[in-house]
């Protein structure tokens, strides 16, 4: 363990190695350095709890503030990481109790925001049982999972995430929530039942990975057909029970015929001047669309479509507004290329 001459902790000290009698002497830069190591995974945890990237950012900041103010309460009985998770979970529950928008209904979550894969990649790659790897496992970060979680009441939601995603023992979850182990186990069973009700039935066939050639080809065909506004081709690429939504804009459309009619009525059919850039969010393929604007002399951000693909067809399209482009690291415009 490295110490300064005044015996205070430096930023490369691991809290698990500390003499807890000196923990109260930690200065703010050293403490911030320790906490920052866990920022991304805590942000993912808060995002999973809240469904909103922006709310998660605010909650992580609140977590660090609370942790600094209460640093003397860290007694070393758990890891520093687990202590931060406790604070973050309670900060999420406080926010949900105070200012959560209207309850998720009918499968629609209007406050849902995408999580850029480039930020998920900031977490170090580890073994299958490593905490950071578990925290961003594909099946618990995809949008369909996030939507299902948002249908749960806050405390069962916290129980489910802590137990089934992070693998916490029931007694630790009970201590965090101030409940009994029996209450936690009961809440977990209710939460699992709620997830089964709202999750896609074909979970084993979720979106293929980066090396899935079939997925890449389907995304390419979807992109080309969208740029051409070819409704017939798009209709052939989606499942009979396809779902589309555009948070925060109201409206959940279910079924190929309903979705095709929506595309036609919204004016998408026959639209010209589109360009596309591939991207990825929530470990799902996504396509960012730009629309030609004569006044700007460039293609400007329009929407981002995140795709859930099952059985070689598109099962769900979640469309996000152009305010998400900066967060996703997408170009602010595409220059003219001679074809509008």
How far is Cα of residue 223 from the mean position of the Cα atoms in its chain? 23
Number of residues in the chain:
340
Q: Mean of the pLDDT values across residues 79-94? A: 95
CATH architecture of 205-335: Roll (3.10)
Q: Mean of the pLDDT values across residues 83-92? A: 97
CATH architecture of 38-199: Up-down Bundle (1.20)
Q: Are 48 and 149 in contact (CB under 8 A)?
A: yes
- pLDDT at position 269, please? 84
Could you state, in order of their start, the residue ranges of all structural domains in the chain?
38-199, 205-335
DSSP E strands, the chain: 238-246, 249-254, 274-281, 284-293, 298-310, 313-321, 334-335
**For the purposes of burial, counting CB atoms within 10 Å of the CB of 153, is it exposed (0-12), middle (13-18) or buried (19 or more)?**
middle
Q: Are 95 and 59 in contact (CB under 8 A)?
A: yes
Read off the pLDDT of residues 48-81 as tens digits, 9 standing for 90 and up.
Answer: 999 999 999 999 999 999 999 988 888 777 889 9
**For the purposes of burial, counting CB atoms within 10 Å of the CB of 167, is it exposed (0-12), middle (13-18) or buried (19 or more)?**
exposed
Q: Are 258 and 238 in contact (CB under 8 A)?
A: no
Q: Are 268 and 274 in contact (CB under 8 A)?
A: no
Question: Does residue 248 surpass a pLDDT of 70?
Answer: yes
What pTM, to 2 d.p., does this model score? 0.87
Question: Does residue 116 surpass a pLDDT of 80?
Answer: yes
How many DSSP H helices and E strands does the chain contain? 13, 7
Which carries the bigger pLDDT value, residue 243 or residue 138? Answer: 243
Tokens of 156: 């069962």
Q: Which of 277, 296, 278, 276 is nearest to 336 (CA)?
A: 296
- Looking at 53-57, 74-78, 268-272, 303-307, which range is the least confident one? 74-78
Question: Does residue 6 surpass a pLDDT of 80?
Answer: no
Distance spanning both ends of the chain, measured CA to CA: 63
Which residues does 183 contact at the CB level (< 8 Å), separation at least 6?
174
Mean pLDDT over the full length of the chain = 86
Helix, strand, coil distribution of the chain in percent, nearest 5:
50, 20, 35
Q: Which of 259, 252, 204 is nearest to 234 (CA)?
A: 259
Read off the pLDDT of residues 160-184 as tens digits, 9 standing for 90 and up.
Answer: 999 999 999 999 999 999 999 999 9
Q: Residue 239 and residue 309: Cα distance in Å, rounded?
A: 9
Q: Which three-class secondary structure string do you get for 187-246?
A: HHHHHHHHHHHHCCCCHHHCCCCCCCHHHHHHHHHHHHHHHCCCHHHHHHHEEEEEEEEE
Q: Are 207 and 215 in contact (CB under 8 A)?
A: yes
Which is it for the CA torsion 91, 96, 97, 101, positive or negative? positive
How far is Cα of residue 14 from the mean position of the Cα atoms in its chain? 29
């Amino acid at each position: 363990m490295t110490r300064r001459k005044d015996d205070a902790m430096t930023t490369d000290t691991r809290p698990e190695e500390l003499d807890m009698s000196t923990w109260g002497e930690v200065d703010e830069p050293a403490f911030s350095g320790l906490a920052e190591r866990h920022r991304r995974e805590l942000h993912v945890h808060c995002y999973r709890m809240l469904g909103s990237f922006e709310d998660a950012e605010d909650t992580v900041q609140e977590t660090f503030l609370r942790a600094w103010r209460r640093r003397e309460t860290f007694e070393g009985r758990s890891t520093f990481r687990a202590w931060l998770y406790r604070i973050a979970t309670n900060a999420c529950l406080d926010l949900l109790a105070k200012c959560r928008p209207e309850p998720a209904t009918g499968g629609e979550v209007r406050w849902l925001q995408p999580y850029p894969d480039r930020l998920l990649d900031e977490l170090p790659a580890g073994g299958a049982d490593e905490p950071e790897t578990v925290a961003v496992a594909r099946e618990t970060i995809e949008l369909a999972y996030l939507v299902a979680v948002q249908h749960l009441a806050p405390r069962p939601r916290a129980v489910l995430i802590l137990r089934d995603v992070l693998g916490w023992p029931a007694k630790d979850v009970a201590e965090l929530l101030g409940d009994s182990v029996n209450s936690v186990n009961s809440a977990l069973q209710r939460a699992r039942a709620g997830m089964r009700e709202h999750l896609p039935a074909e979970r084993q066939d979720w979106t293929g990975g980066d090396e899935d050639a079939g997925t890449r080809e389907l995304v390419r065909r979807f992109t080309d057909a969208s740029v051409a506004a070819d409704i017939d081709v798009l209709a052939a690429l989606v499942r009979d029970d396809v779902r589309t939504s555009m948070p925060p804009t109201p409206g959940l459309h279910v079924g190929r015929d309903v979705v095709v009619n929506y595309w036609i009525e919204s004016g998408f059919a026959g639209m010209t001047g589109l360009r596309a850039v591939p991207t990825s969010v929530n470990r799902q393929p996504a396509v960012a669309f730009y629309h030609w604007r004569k006044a700007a002399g460039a293609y400007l951000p329009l929407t981002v479509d995140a795709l859930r693909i099952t059985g070689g067809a598109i099962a769900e399209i979640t469309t996000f507004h152009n305010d998400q482009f900066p967060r996703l690291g997408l170009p602010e415009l595409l220059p003219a290329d001679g074809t509008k």
